[in-house]
Structure 1
Amino acid sequence: MRMAKTLQQCLDKAGCDYDIVPHAHSSTSLESARMAGVPAERVAKSVMLDDRHGNYLMAVLPANRHLDMSKVQATGQWHMTIESNLPHLFGDCERGAIPALGDAYSIKMLVDPTLTRQGDIYVEAGDHDHLIHMNMTQYLKLVPNAEVREVC
């Protein structure tokens, strides 16, 4: 698989310019950055949260940073989602390779401003072997409902 079908449809509908960056198989966003030879601060890592009542939130931050739950809790009582609960949300993605495009999957997003200050961004393509590369302006058009706030 090169790209999740939902992601492909989202990019096509928006008419985005992007590149597909292949890399050796990786297990984490940080490892994807290393394998692709791209700066980790430009690779978007998705961390899924839920409120234990069926509502989900995607926190998006650079691959080389860690989520600060105290900053996320300001928006409600969120908990790290158990990965086994995610296939119904991201059925076209490989487990653990969630694209940082919550809007495409109808999921609310928080995006850390350290990412939005970058000129470009790399997003998981839905598998463990490819990244999607685009400029930040294009990315922000794809996530118009995302709230930009510190989460790491």
Structure 2
Amino acid sequence: MSMATTVQRSLASARCKFELVAHPRSATSLESARVAYVPAERVAKPVILDDRHGRFLMAVVPASRHLNLGRVRQNKVDWQLSNEAAVAGLFSDCEVGAVPALGEPYGMPMLIDPQLTRQQDIYLEAGDHENLVHLEMEQFLKLVPHAEVCELCH
């Protein structure tokens, strides 16, 4: 596998300029940053949350940081970490554990930590464990025009 079909279609329809960066197989966003020799603060790590009533939310933080779930709960919804089976079903064109930081193309709202949006460029999983999509921040934001930027990290 290489890039997930949904990611390919989204990049094409938004006419985004990007580069596909191949790297040795990795299991996490932080490990992908390490093996691809890119700064972890520029790798977007998606965390999938749900409200246990069928609504999902993607919170995107730098791979070098951790999500502060308390900051997400401020939206008056008790968001919880989604289980792997639910996530796999939402991202069926991706390998398990290689979710791209693109909630909107998959039909879910997104929150993005400003530590990412302050970066000039960004890397995100392509949908497999061996490729990252590298693009300038303005290109990334074209892919997720409705994403809300808010503090999400500790």
TM-score normalised by the chain length of structure 2: 0.97
Distance, in Å, in 2 between the alignment partners of 1:145 and 1:17 is 20
Secondary structure of 1:88's aligned partner:
helix
Give the match for residue 5 of structure 1: 5
Distance, in Å, in 2 between the alignment partners of 1:127 and 1:136 is 21
Give the match for residue 118 of structure 1: 119
In the TM superposition, 1:41-120 aligns within 5 A as 41-75=41-75, 76-120=77-121
In the TM superposition, 1:118-137 aligns within 5 A as 118-137=119-138
Give the match for residue 23 of structure 1: 23
Distance, in Å, in 1 between the alignment partners of 2:98 and 2:66 is 17
Secondary structure of 2:119's aligned partner:
coil
Secondary structure of 1:87's aligned partner:
helix
1:79-120 CA distance string (max 9 Å, x none): 000111122210000001100011110111000000000000
1:31-72 CA distance string (max 9 Å, x none): 000000000000000000000000000000000000001101
Q: How many pairs are equivalent?
A: 152
1:126 Cα deviation after fit? 0.3
Which stretches in structure 2 are left out of the alignment for 5+ residues? none
Q: Give the letter for the 2:45 counterpart.
A: K
Distance, in Å, in 2 between the alignment partners of 1:87 and 1:97 is 9
Q: Give the letter for the 1:3 counterpart.
A: M
Q: Give the letter for the 2:48 counterpart.
A: M
Q: Give the letter for the 1:128 counterpart.
A: H
Secondary structure of 1:132's aligned partner:
strand
Distance, in Å, in 2 between the alignment partners of 1:36 and 1:85 is 28
Distance, in Å, in 2 between the alignment partners of 1:67 and 1:61 is 7
Aligned CA RMSD, in angstroms, stands at 0.5
Distance, in Å, in 1 between the alignment partners of 2:138 and 2:104 is 16
Distance, in Å, in 2 between the alignment partners of 1:86 and 1:48 is 7
Secondary structure of 1:59's aligned partner:
strand
